[in-house]
Structures are given as C-alpha cells and as structure tokens.
Amino acid sequence: MHRLNDEYEALRKTVEEFARDVVAPVIGDYYERCAFPYDIVSQMGRMGLFGLPIPEEYGGMGGDYFALCLALEELARVDSSVAITLEAATSLGAMPLYRYGSEEQKAEWLPDLAAGRTLGAFGLTEPGGGTDVPGGMRTTAVLDGDAWVINGSKAFITNSGTDITGFVAVAALTGPREDGSATPEISTILVPSGTPGFTVSKKYSKVGWSASDTRELSFTDCRVPAANLLGDRGRGYAQFLRTLDEGRVAIAALSVGLAQGCVDESLRYVKERHAFGMPIGRYQAIQFKVADMEVRAHTARLAYYHAAEKMLAGEPFKKEAAIAKLVGSNAAMDNARDATQIFGGYGFMNEYPVGRFYRDAKILEIGEGTSEVQRMLIARQLGLSA
C-alpha cells in the first residue's frame, strides 16, 4: 500500500485542495477565538468525509479506514483541530456504533453521523485515571427495571458538547463478572445529549486544538433505556481496546499530517526569508534540518500505511498500530519544534501556522495512549512482560 491507487489518490487530492482552499484561510481566526468551526464541519459532512468508512446502506461512502486516515493526514497538514474533530467523530463516535450496535441503533444514528449532521463522542477517560483502565474506572451503570442509571464523570472527551453532538458512548462498571474474575464488568451505554442527569461542563482552556470541542462530563442518576446498551453486556473493555487500536492508526495519520505540514511551511519560508544577503534555505544548517523533518514525516507515513494495511487485511495489528502512533507523534513533536526554530521569532506568533502546529503537537504524545503506553504495548507484543 506504499503507492496509492487511483481512488485513494483522488480522495487525497480532494481533501488536500479542501484543506488548502477552505480551511487554511479561516482556521486561524477560529483558533484564536477558541470557536468550533461549524461551517467547515458542515462542508466536510457534505463531502462525505464523516462517512468514509461507513457502508452505503447506512448513509456512508462505503470506503475503508485507510481512506479516513488519508483524509486525516491531509487535513492535519493545515490544521489539527479540524482533523481531530473528524477523527473523534468517526473513529471513536461512529465506528463503535457500526461495529457493535444493534440494527435499530445503527438505523437511528448512523445516517446522521455519516453525513456530519450529528457528532458522536466516546466517554472512556476519567478525571482520576487516564491510562489506568479498568482499575481506575469509577463511573457506574446499574440496571433498574428497563433503564440504566449512570453515575460518575468523564474527562477530556472530544466532540461531547457541540450544538450537533448526538450522544456519548459511555464506558461504565456494570457489576462483577459472573466468572468471578478480578477484572470488573465494563459495558458501553449510549447516552443521548440532553438526557436529564447528563451534564456537559464548559470547554477546557487548552494549550492546543483550540478550535475543537473538549469537555468534562458528569452523570448524576442519569437514566437511559436498557436498549441503549451498545453490544453485549460486559464487552465494553474488549470494545474499547479494539476502538483504541484503530484510533491509534488514525492518530498516527493525523500526526504525519502535522509533521508534513511543518515541512511544507518551512520550505516556503526558507526560500523567502533572507539573512546575510541570501535565502536561509541556502545555508546547510537549515537544509539539514528540513531534510531531517522530511525523513521523519516519510518514515512515519510508511509506519501508519503498514498498520492500516494489516488492519484492512484482518491480521493482528496491535503492535504495528502502537509503532505507528509512537513514530508519528514523535515526528510531529520534533518537526514542530524544528519548524518553529527555523521561523525564529515569527514561529512564536500564532498568526503563523507553525505556531499552531507547535501548540497542537504535544497532545499527540498523550492522547489515545501515551508514548509510554505504546512502548509497553510493543514490548508485550514482543513477548516481554513485567
């Protein structure tokens, strides 16, 4: 899959042009105001980007997960807030519903999700425990007659408080396991926006991703129908492990986009910026720095292509997803730092894209599993354990 076929290349080119012509001219203003770009999201919906991996029978484009990754890379070359909005809505919102939902749930939600008219969110992380799942999970759901009663809170949940958010898929403790296992029973339950007892906090003030929606959520005796259970009771842990493996490939693609965007911006700048009588791109120190940036982006792209290839083939891809996410996030962070250095004082100004890239890069080493978690996963796949 190292060479894109005509269909993939046509998609990549379409999203590249959209990012350059539609997103790039206006996203800086949204970023400065910490405003959610509803008009851009609407256009992305009409383009079918939110439905790329969703079958046509549910209103999607009938593509695959690699197509989504290509779109994420091209968007993130210009802006990560828009890219993470698409990633979270599709990878974390729509895909678990498509994979594990009942036909009734899919018929109700997927057409609007695939069209970008509605956004879904995935409520896993909690204030007191990020990586520590299931041990750190405190949110509970108790079956009371024909309803689940949910109590607890979630943190750092993307797309959870927009005007078009339809639901949050909440991972919760639903009781001890029948087999007596020490691991608690975790299930996933769909909680529609506006449900009594479901409170969405105000937006976080974030270092980066300033034009995306991220919130803390709380549930106080929040009742939803028993039919809102996503998949089988007690399968929530397995569901989100699969969801996170896929999500890591998507975040790797987004990371590659940011890393490549740093190369794009630096190439333009070093040809225009003069110092000591000539363009700074003629100095070998600058040339080597840009060359290293291109190597990082290229290598990280090959890593996520490989992970996506194994995933689409139905082969185990946990190790490859972790490698892609680790390599990609490292490339994004390193390239953002080098691009900012090349731009000098201008790189510290938010009006220049590399300033946004620098602010956006760090979270890529944290979200969807920290870099330390990726190393742990890779070591386990190599047969090493604590």
- Give residues with Cβ within 8 angstroms of 271, minimum separation 6: 279, 281
In a domain, 386, yes or no: no
Can you read off the two tokens belonging to residue 280? 């700074």
Q: Are 125 and 107 within one domain?
A: no
Q: Tell me the pLDDT tens digit for each residue of 94-129.
A: 999 999 999 999 999 999 999 999 999 999 999 987
Chain Cα centroid distance, residue 381: 23
Say if 22 falls within a structural domain.
Answer: yes
Among 103, 118, 133, the domain-final residue is 118
So which residues are the catalytic ones? 368
At 110, which CATH number? 1.10.540.10
User: Exposure string (b/e) for 328-340, b if CB count within 10 Å is 16 or more?
Assistant: bbbbbbbbbbbbb
Co-location of 111 and 130 in the same domain: no
Structural domain contains residue 81: yes
In a domain, 280, yes or no: yes
Are residue 327 and residue 210 in the same domain, yes or no?
no
Q: pLDDT tens per residue, the chain (386 residues)?
A: 568 999 999 999 999 999 999 999 999 999 999 999 999 999 999 999 999 999 999 999 999 999 999 999 999 999 999 999 999 999 999 999 999 999 999 999 999 999 999 999 999 999 987 666 676 789 999 999 999 999 999 999 999 999 999 999 999 999 876 666 767 899 999 999 999 999 999 999 999 999 999 999 999 999 999 999 999 999 998 898 899 999 999 999 999 999 999 999 999 999 999 999 999 999 999 999 999 999 999 999 999 999 999 999 999 999 999 999 999 999 999 999 999 999 999 999 988 999 999 999 999 999 999 999 999 999 999 999 86
Which domain CATH number covers 168? 2.40.110.10
Question: Do 203 and 227 lie in a common domain?
Answer: yes
- Residue at 126 is within a domain: yes
Choose one of 183, 218, 234: the last residue of a domain.
Answer: 234
Same domain, 69 and 151: no
Are residues 217 and 268 located together in one domain of the fold? Answer: no
Estimate the share of the chain in helix, then strand, then coil, as percent rounded to the nearest 5: 55, 15, 30
Burial classification of residue 202, based on how many CB atoms lie within 10 Å of its CB (0-12 exposed, 13-18 middle, 19 or more buried): exposed
Same domain, 247 and 327: yes
Whether residue 148 sits in one domain with residue 103: no
Q: Is residue 1 part of a domain?
A: no
Phi, psi of 317, rounded to the nearest 5 degrees: -140, 15
pLDDT at 303: 98
Instruction: Report the pLDDT value the prediction gives residue 130, as an integer from 0 to 100.
Output: 66
* 168 and 181 part of one domain: yes
Positive or negative, the CA dihedral 367, 373, 374, 380 is negative
What are the two backbone dihedrals, phi and then psi, of residue 182, each rounded to the nearest 5 degrees? -70, -25
My answer on whether 139 and 195 are in the same domain is: yes
Q: Is residue 24 part of a domain?
A: yes
Domains of the chain: total: 3
- Region label for 273, one of left (φ > 0), alpha (ψ between -120 and 50) or beta (otherwise): beta
How confident is the model at residue 128, as a pLDDT?
80
Domain finish residue from 100, 118, 136: 118
Residue 202 in domain: yes
Q: Write down the pLDDT at residue 118.
A: 97
Confidence (pTM): 0.95
Question: What is residue 2's predicted lDDT score, i.e. its pLDDT?
Answer: 66
Give the range of the structural domain holding residue 29, as residue numbers without chain letter.
Answer: 6-118
**Same-domain status, 260 and 152:** no
- Please tell me the predicted confidence (pLDDT) of residue 132: 65
**Residue 256, domain CATH:** 1.20.140.10
**Which three-class secondary structure state does DSSP give residue 188?**
strand
213 and 127 in a common domain: yes
